Amino acid sequence: MLKRMIAVGLAVMLLCGAALAETLAADTVLLTVADKSYTAMDVDSMAYMLYTQGYAEAYPDYDTAVENLIQEAVLEDYLEKNGYLDFSEEEAAAFRNEAQVTWDGYLDNYVQYYLTEDTDEAKAELRQQAEQFYISQGATLEAVVDNLRFKAAVEKMETALLDGYAPTEEEISQVFETYGAQYKAQYENNVSLYEFYTQYYGYESWYVPEGYRAVLHILLDVDDDLLGAYTDAQAALEEAESDENVDEAAVAAAREAAQATFDAVIASRQEVIDEIYDRLDKGESFQDLIAEYGTDPGMKDAQYLAEGYKVHAESMIYDTAFTAGAFQERMQKPGDVSDPVVGSFGIHILYYLADVPGGLIMTDSIHDEIAQTLVSQKLNSAYAETYEAWKDTLEINRDDALIAQMKAEAEAQMAEAEQAQETAETAPSVENEQNNGQTQENNP
């Protein structure tokens, strides 16, 4: 609750609702918290912001908006009464300086977006337009200053609520073991699922299946026609081998054709291949040869060059030829170099860089993530325990009848607009009607 409310409270107020009921004045007071009043426009704007920020499932959700405004008012009252909003002159000056930089950034972005004539006059005019636009949307320099003060006040309050709490190593280890067991159960015997979530979706896993190794490679480009002939021959071989009624003669012929195209691809770059192996035999660094011969953009990345590609014998994310090359007979230990293999992108010469540790591994980033989560949980728990006590000290009045009326009218208004849009999209145009008429007249 605390994090959600703070996030919304610190958002730049450039959003406004579109469903405010016509029969309910925008300045109609729907809610009061102590001496602070909130109007229909306030509620509608908050509802729209909650929806666009992902904190409400639908718009307009005025009940959630009202509750969020109450939480905001209660927090602001608590911050003020407990001195968290009091800052020194130096701190106030720092807020204003930071706010000015932020505000200038808003204006500069507006100018750059709409600028069509690169002159001082055009820039000055657009800057003035930007100020007017942002101010019309409720975003001002003072609002940015207030947001910075509010954020700093909340940070002071959080420090007090935490009361010096820091997670112990025992707490962190317990969380790691509990959730780590879930990762292990999910991925231990399912490399494809592990790669699907960690590679395609970028999810982090605390568990790494056993059997991964890190490999580097030199990718050599190959003539497109030669490579296409090879991939076609490989596809034909796979089809012959998977036929329901396998024809051994056809398989043998397909295998011979595939080998011939493989040999042709290798022969096309044989001189370079021999040169690479000769230089490796003389002790030159594989990494240096990647820079000189390789064409894979991934091997230009410093992290991949240092850590290699993580490959498992059951990997699903690489070309099957690349995976097979990483585990061929010559690749027995770190430092080994593969025979050349041909894949969809060209010729690969692979280098066995290292074994990748498997199992549950507590990295520094995982340790920090768990610690931060425990701190957040402690903070939210402390806030929840004290929020109701703060709320009970304030007089809160909400006009549920008017809120319900506004919601009903807004929903009806939006439904009417959607119906009008559907009608406009399905209605035939005048031009189409005229064309239809002409067609009918010309038909015998």
> 211-357 architecture in CATH?
Roll (3.10)
SS3 101: helix
Q: Do 99 and 148 contact (CB within 8 A), yes or no? A: yes
What is the pLDDT at residue 164?
Answer: 95
Instruction: Residue 74: name the closest of 44, 31, 43, 42 by CA.
Output: 31
Whether the CA torsion 186, 187, 191, 196 is positive or negative: it is: positive
pLDDT tens-digit series, residues 166-175: 999 999 999 9
Whether 440 shows a pLDDT value over 80: the answer reads no
pLDDT tens-digit series, residues 323-369: 999 999 999 999 999 999 999 999 999 999 999 999 998 999 999 99
- Judge: domain 2-164+372-425, CATH 3.40.50: no
* Interatomic CA distance for residues 268 and 422, integer angstroms: 61
What one-character DSSP code corresponds to residue 300? G
Same fold, 2-164+372-425 and 211-357: no
What is the pLDDT at residue 312?
Answer: 98
Average pLDDT over residues 390-410: 92
**Per-domain boundaries in the chain:** 2-164+372-425, 211-357
Euclidean distance between the first and final Cα of the chain, in Å? Answer: 73
Tell me the pLDDT band of 421, cut-offs 50, 70 and 90: confident
Tell me the pLDDT band of 138, cut-offs 50, 70 and 90: confident
Give the mean pLDDT of the chain.
89
CB under 8 A, 24+ apart: contacts of 81-89: 82/157, 84/153, 84/154, 84/156, 84/157, 85/149, 85/150, 85/153, 87/149, 87/152
Residues sharing a CB contact under 8 Å with residue 5, sequence separation 6 or more, in sequence order: 68, 71, 72, 75
